[in-house]
Amino acid sequence: MAATLQGLKEAGFTAGENLAIEFRWAEGHYERLPALAEELAKRPVSLIIAAGGSDPGRAAKAATSTIPIVFITAADPIRAGLVAKLNRGEGNITGISMMGATLEAKRLELLHEMFPQAAIGVMINPGYPAAKVQAQEVEEAVRRLGIQVAVINVGTAAEVDVAFARFDEQKIGAVLACNDPFYGSDRAHIAALALRYRLPTMSFRREFAEAGGLVSYGAEFSEGYRQTGLYAGRILAGAKPGDLPVMQPTKFELVINLKTAKTIGRAISETFLMRADEVIE
């Protein structure tokens, strides 16, 4: 929220001054999104920012073909049905693609490099639109790297608890929480379980490492949300969504929490630490 508001401010729009914002939260319940989008479209608002995955963008797109929409998603926006091309928006919709859901193989590779002898547990949310693509990426990485992986479908906080208990029972040596808005919002809970079971865990947002998780790899989400605010501001100022290309990140960051590594008793090589964009000590 802070980064989006900052982007809007940079574009000349400040909440409470020349901008009013109506917030709607699905709180992780994707089935609520269509009704929330329809409610906003009936207000009607001047623009909809659809954040937190591709589902909000699809719900907004289904609710209106006239109100401008700016989405931000980690999924492939073409596969998700948001736009047909990345070099320009489509009708009333454009946005930011963070490409997070297409990096699971890279994250597995990094985890394997950190802990080459470890079997890796993988959490995938079956309710996430890119879940099938993520599962395919994991399978491809398993074949290429020759690693042992245990995949568990996890879509609620209670299932996160069950997953970590199962990983512990199965003597899993490291965990990957795949890209998913729910895992992003549940990051403190996931990080706490990782510490409790002394399981080195990777996620897709730097905020996970900041919350006590061991490692994260992905695009800088705060910058993506700032760009979302900038795009929204440009459209409010008169630009057409169809004329604005879908933006993609140019930088991916590896963040390691060295304090967590020491707490769970896992050594990380100096060579690997030198590759990190940030080491939290």
Nearest to 21 by CA among 31, 34, 7: 7
How far apart are the C-alpha atoms of 235 and 202, rounded to whole Å?
36
- Tell me if the bond preceding 245 is cis, omega within 30° of 0: no
Identify whether residues 121 and 55 lie together within a single domain: no
Q: Domain of 163: which CATH number?
A: 3.40.50.2300
Q: Domains in the chain: how many in total?
A: 2
Kindly state whether residues 197 and 215 are assigned to the same domain: yes
pLDDT confidence of residue 221: 85
User: Which of 74-88, 93-107, 263-277 is most confident?
Assistant: 263-277
> Do residues 70 and 106 both lie within one domain?
no
Name the residue with higher pLDDT: 151 or 28. Answer: 151
Within this chain, do residues 81 and 158 fall inside the same structural domain, yes or no? Answer: no
DSSP 3-state percent helix, strand, coil across the chain (nearest 5): 45, 15, 40
Q: How high is the pLDDT of residue 144?
A: 92
> Do 174 and 266 share a structural domain?
yes
**Residue 30 gets which letter from DSSP?**
G
Instruction: Give yes or no: residues 155 and 259 share one domain.
Output: yes
Q: Are 54 and 15 part of one and the same domain?
A: yes
Is pLDDT above 70 for 101? no
**Cβ count near 260 (within 10 Å):** 21
Tens digits of residue pLDDT in 201-249: 999 989 999 999 999 999 888 899 999 999 999 999 999 999 999 998 8
With a pLDDT cut of 90, the percent of the chain lying above it is 80
In tens, the pLDDT along 36-80 reads 999 999 998 999 999 988 899 999 999 999 999 999 988 789 888
Range of the domain at 66: 2-99+221-250
Q: Residue holding tokens 């790899």?
A: 217
Q: Do 54 and 169 lie in a common domain?
A: no
Strand order in the sheet with 93-97: 48-51, 69-73, 93-97
Specify whether 188 is located in the same domain as 265. Answer: yes
Both 142 and 75 in one domain: the answer is no
- Which residue type does 17 have? E
Residues 171 and 105 both lie in one domain: yes
Whether residue 100 is predicted with pLDDT greater than 70 in this model: the reply is no
The answer on 201 and 87 residing in a single domain is no
How large a percentage of the chain has pLDDT more than 70? Answer: 99
